[in-house]
Amino acid sequence: MPEGIQSTVARYDAIIIGAGFSGLYQLHCLRDKLGLNVKLLEAGGGIGGTWYWNRYPGARCDSESHSYAYFFSKELLEEWEWSERYPGHAEIRRYLNHVADRFDLKRDMQFDARVTAAHYSDTKQDWTVETEAGERFQATYLIAAVGCLSSANVPNIPGRDDFAGDWYHTGRWPHEGVDFSGKRVGQIGTGSTGIQAVPVIAETAGHLTVFQRTANYSIPARNGPLSGEFKKYMRSEHDQIREVVQTTPNGHPFRISDTPALDVDPARRHALYEHAWETGGLRFRAIFQDLITNKEANDTASDFLKNKIREVVKDPETARVLSDIDHPFAAKRPPIDTHYFEAYNRDNVSLVDLRATPIERITANGIQTSDREYPLDIIVFATGFDAMTGTMLKIDITGRDGRTLKDAWHAGPRTYLGLQIPGFPNLFTLTGPGSPSVLCNMPVAIEQHVNWVTDCIRHMREHDHATIETTEDRADDWIAEVNRAADATLLPQANHSWYLGANVPGKPRIFMPYAGGMDRYRTICDEVVENGYDGFVLTKTGAEAAAD
Ligand code: N01
């Protein structure tokens, strides 16, 4: 243990890991609604979760700002004003800091406190949590509010450490920014992040070379300042906005059409796609009811979007490589952009097709593909995350009988409802694998989970329960339901998708988020409670495990 660190163990009712959207609200609920003694530990130096780390050029949320917010407080909704259609990373941090100040949350948070271990004691029926600095904390309840996209995936390309220039991962962006002026920049990755970064980096770089492995769809975001009229609407109509986001399958502030794409004649369909393209953003996905369930319907959208790329990008070979997309539209998380495809019309931007000429290694000088070496001053890894499970598995977590989480999840994440893991009593995973999480507008999924966990802990305390734990059988059933829901869509058809863990070599291939819709999921969770926490075992204080 480093010098100066106390060896005593601080005792709390609950420990929360993570100061993003979910951790903040969970702290507010447990402390201010239930009166618990709570400590929040955060690896970063401040508030924000994913937004603390993702400060790359162009980083902006893809959810519209009037829906990317907490809905639990009327006063908060009335006093906060977003400035643009989609909130940028700095504005989201300002918002979250405002929330923390407003509810006086910071006094129970500890920053620069990376949790490295969490061990459950069968005898004491509590958790001991340890930080990188060696501090230890004990608590009855452990809440992992670690986010779905927080463990950066930097691919282990041979020679990576030989590179003589600077390299950065978008999810660990330096707070002081990066000066690209006149530099030869190489960017690997064309997911949502890469697509946001390209046009902004291109504005100042000497030359930007984009290394694309899988071509991707993207829809213009049509971002811009919010009008006074819209701001008034946001403030006065938040009840109606809340009603929509909490009853749609994806938590966004618009409803999905109930018209199948093929029920509409081709000319009308094309006009609707044109209108949605001009409107911009994720609303495109909602124009027809069956775009993510029916391949033939999806083809109509995919073809439209591929044609748009060919219209926008002037160089025919670049347009061909960008539009040579191998998966159905929205089978991977669909990016939205600000002048992404237009950036390829600049003289200082070029594209390398890694399908034709794969990266062989990184050299001191740049990136070597099977075709040639690209000399570079800076490499940007926009290569995504070890999503949904990576952060949890980096922590040495042991549950009942010393069983490790690594062992419990060796074949992929096992949870019931993405809320609990069998063998890990009193550990709650906010927006964990098996919940809608990333398939939903995140704050909406987060509020539902936090409310459920808060009600559950209130129930436990009112009924003198010491522990709650789900069962292996229930996790098996839920995994089957998660697979069934995914298989009813086109989502598993994207080969390299992080939804499947397929972007990280060696990671088990299992569809992780619940694709059955946030509305349906909310009902399932409510029914579990109505049926006496069906699927969970609750034990009385001091008693052996027994169903209540
Ligand atoms: O990551 P990704 P992301 N060699 O995994 C490529 C959320 N998000 O950070 O597809 C070469 O989607 C990889 O290629 P391929 C959102 O949910 C939200 O962009 O595997 N290339 C792909 O092109 C999103 O989905 C927002 O063939 C390699 C890219 O890197 C999620 O975060 C903004 C490679 C990774 O794409 C993740 O998006 C941004 C290799 N070895 C992100 N390894 C907002 O709402 C990977 N790639 C604001």
pLDDT (tens digit, 9 = 90+) per residue, 321-360? Answer: 999 999 999 999 999 999 999 999 999 999 999 999 999 9
- Written as six digits, the tokens of 107 are 């006094």
If you measure from the C-alpha of residue 11 to the centroid of ligand 1, how many angstroms do you get, rounded to a whole number? 40
The answer to whether 415 and 429 are in contact (CB under 8 A) is yes
The letter for the amino acid at 390 is G
If you measure from the C-alpha of residue 496 to the centroid of ligand 1, how many angstroms do you get, rounded to a whole number? 10
pLDDT score of 8 more than 90: no
Ligand 1 within 6 A of 155 CB? yes
Number of CB atoms found within 10 A of residue 162's CB: 11
Angle at 337 between CA 269 and CA 491, to 5 degrees: 60
Ligand 1 within 6 A of 333 CB? yes
The answer to whether 252 and 441 are in contact (CB under 8 A) is yes
If you measure from the C-alpha of residue 299 to the centroid of ligand 1, how many angstroms do you get, rounded to a whole number? 23
**pLDDT (mean) for 215-229:** 98
pLDDT score of 470 more than 70: yes
Give the integer Cα–Cα distance in Å for 373 and 159.
Answer: 13
Give the integer Cα–Cα distance in Å for 245 and 253.
Answer: 5
Ligand 1 mutation target, pool 55, 68, 156, 213, most atoms within 8 A of CB: 213
| Average confidence score pLDDT of the chain | 95
H/E stretch holding 119 reads: strand 115-121
Domain with CATH 3.50.50.60 in the chain: 9-151+387-547, 154-216+335-384
Give the integer Cα–Cα distance in Å for 290 and 518.
Answer: 17
Least trusted range by pLDDT, from 145-159, 215-229, 489-503, 531-545: 531-545
**pLDDT (mean) for 407-433:** 97
Number of CB atoms found within 10 A of residue 544's CB: 6
pLDDT band for 496, please (50, 70, 90 cuts): confident
If you measure from the C-alpha of residue 384 to the centroid of ligand 1, how many angstroms do you get, rounded to a whole number? 4
**pLDDT (mean) for 413-425:** 98
Ligand 1 atom nearest 59 alpha carbon: 48
If you measure from the C-alpha of residue 497 to the centroid of ligand 1, how many angstroms do you get, rounded to a whole number? 9
Ligand 1 atom 6, closest CA: 189
Ligand 1 mutation target, pool 167, 192, 198, 337, most atoms within 8 A of CB: 192
Which residues have a Cβ under 8 Å from the Cβ of 463 and sit 6 or more positions away?
A: 538, 548
Ligand 1 within 6 A of 503 CB? yes
Q: Given this model, what pLDDT does residue 542 score?
A: 60
Q: Given this model, what pLDDT does residue 545 score?
A: 42
* CATH 3.50.50.60 given to domain 9-151+387-547: yes
Number of CB atoms found within 10 A of residue 327's CB: 20
Q: Given this model, what pLDDT does residue 1 score?
A: 43
Ligand 1 atom nearest 89 alpha carbon: 48
The class that CATH gives domain 154-216+335-384 is: alpha beta
> For residues 438-476, b (16+ Cβ closer than 10 Å) or e, as one string?
bbbbbbbbbbbbbbbbbbbbebbeeeebbbbbbbeebbe
**pLDDT (mean) for 243-257:** 97
Residues of the chain with pLDDT > 70, as a percent, come to 97
- Written as six digits, the tokens of 18 are 């993570």
Number of CB atoms found within 10 A of residue 223's CB: 18
pLDDT score of 461 more than 90: yes
Number of CB atoms found within 10 A of residue 145's CB: 28
* Tens digit of each residue's pLDDT (9 = 90 or more) over 20-57: 999 999 999 999 999 999 999 999 999 999 999 999 99
- Coil/strand/helix, residue 512: coil
Ligand 1 within 6 A of 191 CB? yes
pLDDT score of 5 more than 60: no
Ligand 1 atom 7, closest CA: 192
Phi-psi region of 313 (alpha: psi -120 to 50; beta: other; left: phi over 0): beta
The answer to whether 45 and 53 are in contact (CB under 8 A) is no
Integer CA distances (angstroms), 494 to 46, 69, 329, 333, 514, in order: 35, 30, 9, 10, 16
Residues of the chain with pLDDT > 90, as a percent, come to 94
If you measure from the C-alpha of residue 453 to the centroid of ligand 1, how many angstroms do you get, rounded to a whole number? 30
* Tens digit of each residue's pLDDT (9 = 90 or more) over 283-298: 999 999 999 999 999 9
Give the integer Cα–Cα distance in Å for 91 and 82.
Answer: 8
Give the integer Cα–Cα distance in Å for 511 and 501.
Answer: 7
